[in-house]
Amino acid sequence: DGGITQSPKYLFRKEGQNVTLSCEQNLNHDAMYWYRQDPGQGLRLIYYSQIVNDFQKGDIAEGYSVSREKKESFPLTVTSAQKNPTAFYLCASKTGDGDTGELFFGEGSRLTVL
């Protein structure tokens, strides 16, 4: 079945460590996104990519990095520079960034910093 797979679902990290969250899609979508969700707030865009080997910063990119070496994959690295990384992270994709199609979401990764 087509969809978006995020891993791991739960992740614990010590302060000062970098972690990488995986996002893979087999929907043949060009556009991929990373969002952060905190209680009481709307989804906030971290990074997005419209095409392979290209990506743009979203509203809260500081302390995060991404790569888009393959169409199917858009991993997110949460670096030690991110001051408050504990959150629920959602990866999403859609056909193209400039269209009005719906977003398809992965199941999310919950990161907790100890």
Partner 1 sequence: GQNIDQPTEMTATEGAIVQINCTYQTSGFNGLFWYQQHAGEAPTFLSYNVLDGLEEKGRFSSFLSRSKGYSYLLLKELQMKDSASYLCAVMDSNYQLIWGAGTKLIIKP
Interface positions with partner 1 (CB under 8 A): 40-45, 88, 90, 97-100, 102-108, 110
Q: What is the Cα–Cα distance from 56 to 35, expressed in whole angstroms?
A: 13
Report the nearest approach of partner 1 to the CB of residue 46 (Å). 13
Is the Cβ of residue 15 or residue 102 nearer to partner 1 in the bound state? 102
Report the nearest approach of partner 1 to the CB of residue 98 (Å). 5
Is the Cβ of residue 43 or residue 80 nearer to partner 1 in the bound state? 43
Report the nearest approach of partner 1 to the CB of residue 16 (Å). 27
H helices, E strands: number in the chain: 0, 11
Question: Which residues face 44 on adjacent strands?
Answer: 36
Q: How many CA atoms lie within 13 A of 7 on its CB side?
A: 4
